[in-house]
Amino acid sequence: MGHIFISNIYWFRTMTTPQKLFSILGLTLVIGALAYTAYGLNDAPVKPPEKAVVLGEGSGPDARVAANLLDPSTPVRGPLRTEELKHIKLTDQDGKTFSLDQLKGETVLVNFMFAGCTSICPVQTVGLRRVHNEMQLDPEKDRIKLLSITIAPASDTPKLLKDFAERFEIDKPTWRFAVTNQAHTDELSEQFGVGVKPLDGSDQLDHRSLLYLINHEGMLIQQYRGNVVDVERLKNELRVVDQLGRS
């Protein structure tokens, strides 16, 4: 092995400068290819985005690319448009009925939760509360909204969701908590890739903690890990997407 190494050094010294440059370039490409193979984010190919719609460091153009960048356990179908879900009627904590498609014109950050959760939901809610409160959203001026949809429609009534919002001091017009029937809950879970499943021996539900950003056109353009809420990034990107919708 040592003899081969010494021979290679002698061979490199006898090369002309252009030959050295081409050799170094070739070696760099080989190392890069090996690194990509070993540490690639996902084995599946990524379809090129339709267009980049989110500005700022760390942002993604649509749900497919965002899913690949964040490397979730299962892929999210995208890009998702809320007009495909206009048949699903949601009821918020104040008893008002609406659909996701009726939120067009607003920038909406969506998460899925349930009031009886004892693990990630309360932690995520506190993180989102920081985002909401620090942005100081004005319902008369701002078109940025937060929407929390329960995955436990059998138990989470509008009143229980209102109690949940009041307990966390977030019962505001700019943050809605909503419930629909079980069939539509299952459909939303499938469309957003929430992955709901009951935990054996308890009343708890296992589900993915991703956050979903929907722009003013009703298109899902980004998703974020939600077990630890990136407050500063969300504040920045919500404002950026909102300004894009105004321009």
Looking at residue 53, its pLDDT comes to 35
pTM comes to: 0.69
Listed residue (53, 48, 40) closest to 222, CA to CA? 53
Q: Report the DSSP beta bridge partners of residue 176.
A: 147
- Would you state the pLDDT for residue 49? 36
- Stretches where the chain sits below pLDDT 70 are 1-79, 200-202, 205-207
Residue 214 bridge partners (DSSP): 108, 220
Residue 158 corresponds to which amino acid?
P
Beta bridge partner(s), residue 108: 145, 214
Quote the CATH superfamily of domain 63-246. Glutaredoxin (3.40.30.10)
What is the gyration radius of the CA atoms in the chain, in angstroms?
24
150 three-state secondary structure: strand
Looking at residue 161, what is its pLDDT? 96
Q: Is the peptide bond before 49 cis (omega within 30 degrees of 0)?
A: no
